[in-house]
Structure 1
Amino acid sequence: FIMVYQDHLTKFVLLRPLQSKRAEEVAYQLNDIFLTLGAPCILQSDNGREFVNKVISEVTQLWPELKIVHGKPRHSQSQGSVERANQDVENMLASWMADNKTTKWSEGLRYVWYGS
C-alpha cells in the first residue's frame, strides 16, 4: 500500500510505503509527517478504511485542533488533485520498476517521489 499525502495549497506530495492499512501504521506515518512539516489545520480523507475510528482518535490526540474532512464516498472528483497525483505515482512507479527490472515497488518509491 502507498500512502499519498498532499498539501492542498502547494500540491507538495509525500509518499510513504505501508505494510498494511492498519490504523496504527497510518497514524504513525501521519504523525511522522506532521512532526517533520507541521500539522495541517484540516486533513481531508479519501474515505479509505484506514482513516476511520482509531486513526482519527490517535492523530487528534496529538493534534487536537486538527479537523478531519471526508470527501464524498466513491466520488473521486472531490479529491481531484490527489487522484491525479495517485495516477502520476502509479505511472512513474511502473516505469521505474520496468526500467530496473524489479517488482520491489517500495524501493522505487523514494526515487519516484524525488523525481516528481
Structure 2
Amino acid sequence: MFDVIHDVHLTTGHGGRDRILYEVKKKYANVTRLAVKTFIELCENCQLKQTTSRKSLIVKPIISDCFNARCQVDLIDWQSSANKHGYKFILNYQDHFTKFCILWPLKEKTAVAVAKELTDIFCLFGAP
C-alpha cells in the first residue's frame, strides 16, 4: 500500500490528501484516508512546503467618546423594491458612540446625491 500511495503522491506533484485519495481509489480499493494522511505527514517535501502559522491580526475596536465624533455611512441597494416615488437606495448614517441611525431614501447612487443628503444630515446634527 505504501508503494501505491507513494507513486500516486509523486505523480500528482505532492498532491494533498483528497487528491491522492481520489486518484488511488480509481485503481485500488481499501486505501484509507488515514493511510494517505499519515503518508503525507511523513513526506519531507510536503512538510517543508507547509507554511508556518501566521500571526493573527490584532483587531482594535473603534472607540468614540461622544456623540457625532465618528460616523459610518452605508448605501443599501433597494432597486428590486423601488417605491412609486422612485427611491431605489437607502442611505444609512450611523453614529459610532450611540449607534443612532438615520435612514434617508435616495433616488440614485451618485456622489452628488449622497453629498446632498449628508449635507442635510450635517445641518441637523453637525459634521463629525
Per the normalisation by structure 2, the TM-score is 0.31
Q: TM-score, normalised by structure 1?
A: 0.34
Identify the structure with bigger relative contact order (alpha carbons < 8 Å, sequence gap 6+): 1
Larger Rg: 2
